[in-house]
Amino acid sequence: MSTDVHPTDADAPDERAARALAMQASPEFGELRRTMRRFIFPMTAAFLTWYLLYVVLSAYARDFMDTKVVGNLNIAFFFGLLQFVSTFLIAVLYSRYAARRFDPMAEKIKAELDAEAAK
Q: What tens digit of pLDDT does each residue of 56-81 get?
A: 999 999 999 999 999 999 999 999 99
Q: What tens digit of pLDDT does each residue of 17-36 get?
A: 887 788 888 888 899 999 99
Give the Å distances, CA to CA, from 8 to 12, 18, 56, 115, 118: 6, 16, 58, 16, 12
pTM of the model: 0.71
Where helices occur in the chain by DSSP H, the ranges are 13-24, 27-60, 62-65, 75-97, 103-118
